[in-house]
Amino acid sequence: MTHDDSTSGENAGPRQLASLELDGARLWVYDLAEFNAADPKRVSSFSSNFGWWQVPADVARSLAMPTLGKAALEWIHDTGELVLLGGVPTVGEISVDVPESVAAVGAVMPAFLGGTVGGVGRDVAGNVRELFKSEVMPEGSRVALLAHIRHGPKAHEVLWGWHREHRKADGWRWLVDRLARLAGDSADHLA
């Protein structure tokens, strides 16, 4: 089923793959690649990472995670979205299209001065691509959109104490209780 993601306003949203129940509210789970493609600000924005932790089995199932069940909590600055990322990133390589002149400079400049770390090459269409080492989420990773929090201070206020609570057995319940505080707020709300 496809729906419009009214939160980003500009693009059609990704397919809803599953859902999480959060104190009576249904929160949608999406394919991470589709979620990011629906709003480029999600990828280009700075994100505050609140850490990885073991999520309950029902949350892990919704995120289609392996038995490890580790997820990350992040707040995306440009979109105001608080998301739960399923899966653990590994070090991999990403590539970016770059103008030929930029690639030429990057290829000859040492990495410690800002030069290319991974390499420069052309794809089959002749486009110049630069390769970088980066953390990469596993193929098929999912993301749950938990809440919309417009401003960073509010996001940090809602999650104040998370670093002490998230690894405890009731860490998920603590998060649910904190997010429930957004229920009556018109500007900041559960997704």
Q: How many CA atoms lie within 13 A of 61 on its CB side?
A: 5
* Predicted local distance difference test score (pLDDT) of residue 87: 76
The mean of the pLDDT values for the chain is 77
What dihedral do alpha carbons 104, 109, 112, 115 form, nearest 10°? 0
Q: For residue 164, give the H/E element and its range.
A: helix 162-165
Share of residues in the chain with pLDDT > 70 (%) = 66
Query: Contact, 145 vs 83, CB < 8 A?
Result: yes
Sequence-ordered list of residues with C-beta below 8 angstroms from that of 164, at least 6 positions apart, any chain = none
**pLDDT interval class at 6 (50, 70, 90):** very low
Q: Are strands 81-86 and 70-76 parallel, antiparallel or unpaired?
A: antiparallel
* Predicted local distance difference test score (pLDDT) of residue 8: 43
Sequence-ordered list of residues with C-beta below 8 angstroms from that of 163, at least 6 positions apart, any chain = 50, 51
Query: Contact, 122 vs 130, CB < 8 A?
Result: no
* Predicted local distance difference test score (pLDDT) of residue 12: 62
**Distance in angstroms (rounded) separating the CA atoms of residues 166 and 137:** 21
| Residues, the chain | 191
Q: How many CA atoms lie within 13 A of 53 on its CB side?
A: 21
Examine the pLDDT at 161 and tell me if it is beyond 70.
yes
Sequence-ordered list of residues with C-beta below 8 angstroms from that of 101, at least 6 positions apart, any chain = none
Query: Contact, 84 vs 147, CB < 8 A?
Result: no
**Distance in angstroms (rounded) separating the CA atoms of residues 10 and 17:** 21
**pLDDT interval class at 138 (50, 70, 90):** confident
Structure tokens at 114: 């800002």
User: The pTM is what?
Assistant: 0.73
**Distance in angstroms (rounded) separating the CA atoms of residues 107 and 78:** 32
